[in-house]
Every structure is written in structure tokens, then in C-alpha cells.
């Protein structure tokens, strides 16, 4: 368990959950097994400390469609993620790699 995962709080357990399709997950080199369900959770943004909800639909998308490493958890709220994307985009364009 990473420090980031310890900060994640599970909300109402029965309220919202989605089955996990373990065959679509990126589990890396771990021997851990996937849980059966995603649950709505919330976490503290590492930048501003805001409590950010993370819905089961977004978790499923991130892990099964974006194929993000399954044991990586969200750490930034939506507005900080948007700022981060914008900074990266600017850095790329300043380096001359931006698409026209
Ligand atoms: Zn934030």
C-alpha cells in the first residue's frame, strides 16, 4: 500500500459500485489480485488539499480504457489536473513540439 492509497476514503459502500473487469487491467508486475468492484471514493488533492470525489465510472475509464497502472490512485483535483495539462502543453509548444 502506498501513502497515496491510505488517504483514499471509501464512501457509502452500497451506494455506488461497478464490477471490475480484471482482464482489462494493467496490474504491472504485482501478484495482487484485483478487487471485485470499484466503489465511489474521495481523496485529498496533493496540491491544494481539496477533497475530490472519484466516481466509479471515472475509475473504470482510467483503469480499463486508459489502462493506467491499477495501483496508481488519483492525487489531484480536477482544476489542478487541468492546470497541469496546460503547463505541459505550454512547455511542449515552447520547445517547438506542439502540433500546429
Ligand atoms: Zn487541488
CA–centroid distance, residue 64 to ligand 1 (Å): 24
CA–centroid distance, residue 63 to ligand 1 (Å): 21
pLDDT tens digits, 29-53: 877 889 999 999 999 999 999 999 9
pLDDT tens digits, 56-71: 999 999 999 999 999 8
Q: What phi, psi does 50 have (nearest 5°)?
A: -65, 145
Residue-averaged pLDDT of the chain = 86
CA–centroid distance, residue 83 to ligand 1 (Å): 10
Give the three cell numbers for residue 53.
470525489
Instruction: Write the CB contacts of 99 (distance below 8 Å, at least 6 apart in sequence).
Output: none
CA–centroid distance, residue 69 to ligand 1 (Å): 21
> SS3 of 86, please?
helix
Q: Which long-range contacts (CB under 8 A, 24 or more apart) does 11-15 make?
A: 11/39, 11/40, 11/41, 11/42, 11/53, 12/40, 13/39, 15/40
**Domain locations along the chain:** 3-94
CA–centroid distance, residue 31 to ligand 1 (Å): 32
Q: What percent of the chain has pLDDT over 70?
A: 82
What's the rounded mean pLDDT across residues 6-26?
78
Amino acid at each position: 500500500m502506498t501513502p497515496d492509497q491510505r488517504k483514499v476514503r471509501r464512501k457509502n459502500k452500497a451506494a455506488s459500485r461497478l464490477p471490475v473487469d480484471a482482464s482489462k487491467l494493467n496490474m504491472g508486475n504485482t501478484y495482487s489480485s484485483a478487487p471485485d468492484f470499484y466503489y465511489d471514493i474521495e481523496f485529498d488533492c496533493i496540491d491544494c488539499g481539496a477533497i475530490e470525489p472519484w466516481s466509479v465510472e471515472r475509475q473504470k475509464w482510467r483503469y480499463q480504457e486508459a489502462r493506467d497502472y491499477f495501483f496508481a490512485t488519483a492525487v489531484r483535483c480536477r482544476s489542478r489536473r487541468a492546470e497541469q495539462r496546460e503547463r505541459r502543453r505550454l512547455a511542449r509548444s515552447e520547445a517547438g513540439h506542439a502540433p500546429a
